[in-house]
Structure 1
């Protein structure tokens, strides 16, 4: 039987009482795992947020990120030192800085631990022996692995991380196929059916969405121009309806795009397609 590897087996922690554990998980808008991959500066802000209860009342914050691709799994996000407890923009906040403690493990160390309760902080000494090392990645986590064409059903924010980091497995898969795709606006259920053909694979076409939010489609452009890119991040979800080899005749892709517009009623009041 394989021996369980505990956190204390891989990290030399001399004073457990100096730390509070930060359990960062979905806040209703963003997954901290996506934030961590997208921007380390933005991730630092997550460790600066302070509620009225002052959960992080010790000098060090041991940050863990809910690793949503796997249940009961947490990714190490660094140790932050609390420099000051004050206010920013008239709201309670911590001033923190990333320490050099265990830096080689940031984004690489994955722990197994089943969370109980909803509190976002724990006293380190109360939980340290419960943490089991599940994996140490070769490189810091940079986004999920390609899930297969039939399994793409991703919110804009998750795809944005993948495209920003130019994930090689996703890029290789998507730049070598044409196809028909679907964008759903989760706020109202409206649909947009689009396609990628000519010399433009799905990767190139979707890259335009990731930078503009609208891909230069008339109806989507009107929305993003008025509401901003965050509207796309909060509401747009992408899936791939069909994919074909790059040698497929463009007329076939356009024909299939028309079929899906009819099948999904994406023209008129049910969708954002104008033609």
Structure 2
């Protein structure tokens, strides 16, 4: 018999009918998700979930004594991040900033009076935080229904890990990431990329164009990619006059620790030749 989430609630004396399941999964902010917010700043995540849409239909979905909160890691799974006792206490203070969007709460929907909830973390089930994963559902409607009743949706527990762990670094040649998501990468990945130099590829699936570049300075690949995130062109002539593009970044070759800047530039020139990036790509030198 499969283990179900409601079994854990009942073991703690909590009636599933008193619990709403919340799966925080929005992708409206490039490079920032409820998962990364929880991972990097639990208090900010709790502030984020404590403000909700005041529309009557939405408000009714949150009307329960407890919220069981989940987030969606990059692999699309559903990870438990805490059980909360909740109470609607009024409206959000004017000017309050949403920790996820970094804009005023409700600004993305043109609303000025979001509901403010008091969300108190509970000791019950806290041992499972970051370790327990449930099956949320396979259908597209299940994915959209990010708020559900525990008594009507008894979720199967699909994994229980010994400890919370982030994705393992896949290796340099396996990294393919939208440039907008580099800040959402695990901190261990960013440390490795900051300490590594070499040749990378920018590619746009939409326009089918590519650009070969090199990272030879302090901060390695990560510092160079952050320049593109900030400017979209990184100071390169072939990219400067273009509209903002959904670049995907990958690594073509990693330089050895003793490689000089000239060595890396020679590597870059070789890849430009291999990929014809001066003739059918966006390189201008």
The answer to whether TM tops 0.5 is yes
1:13-28 pair list within 5 angstroms = 14-25=14-25, 27=27
Partner of residue 247 from structure 1, selected from 258, 262, 267: 258
Could you tell which deviates more after superposition, 104-113 or 17-26?
104-113
Shift of 1:268: 7.0
The aligned counterpart of 2:132 is 110
1:1-275 pair list within 5 angstroms = 8-9=7-8, 12=12, 14-25=14-25, 27=27, 31-37=33-39, 41=44, 44-45=47-48, 48-50=51-53, 53-54=57-58, 56-59=61-64, 60-69=66-75, 72-76=77-81, 79=84, 81-83=86-88, 88=106, 90-91=110-111, 93-102=114-123, 104=126, 108-117=130-139, 118=141, 119-128=145-154, 130-138=156-164, 143-162=166-185, 167-168=187-188, 170-171=190-191, 173-197=192-216, 201-206=220-225, 208-209=227-228, 214-218=233-237, 235-267=246-278, 270-271=281-282, 273-275=283-285
Q: How many residues align?
A: 257
Taking a change above 3 Å as real, the CA distance of residues 22 and 49 of structure 1, as seen in their structure-2 partners, is: same
The aligned counterpart of 2:97 is none
Shift of 1:269: 7.4
Measured in 1, the distance between the counterparts of 2:150 and 2:68 equals 8
The question of whether the paired residues in 2 share the 8 Å contact of 1:154 and 1:239 is answered with yes
CA RMSD between the two structures: 4.0
Normalised to the residue count of structure 2, the TM-score between the two structures is 0.68
Secondary structure of 1:127's match?
coil
Secondary structure of 1:126's match?
coil
Measured in 2, the distance between the counterparts of 1:38 and 1:189 equals 34
Normalised to the residue count of structure 1, the TM-score between the two structures is 0.70
Shift of 1:135: 1.8
Secondary structure of 1:177's match?
coil
Secondary structure of 2:214's match?
strand
Secondary structure of 2:61's match?
coil
Measured in 1, the distance between the counterparts of 2:189 and 2:89 equals 42
Taking a change above 3 Å as real, the CA distance of residues 199 and 191 of structure 1, as seen in their structure-2 partners, is: same
Secondary structure of 2:121's match?
coil
The question of whether the paired residues in 2 share the 8 Å contact of 1:78 and 1:98 is answered with no
Measured in 2, the distance between the counterparts of 1:211 and 1:179 equals 20
The question of whether the paired residues in 1 share the 8 Å contact of 2:51 and 2:114 is answered with yes
Provide structure 1 residue ranges, at least 5 long, that are not aligned to the other structure.
Answer: none
Shift of 1:212: 6.0
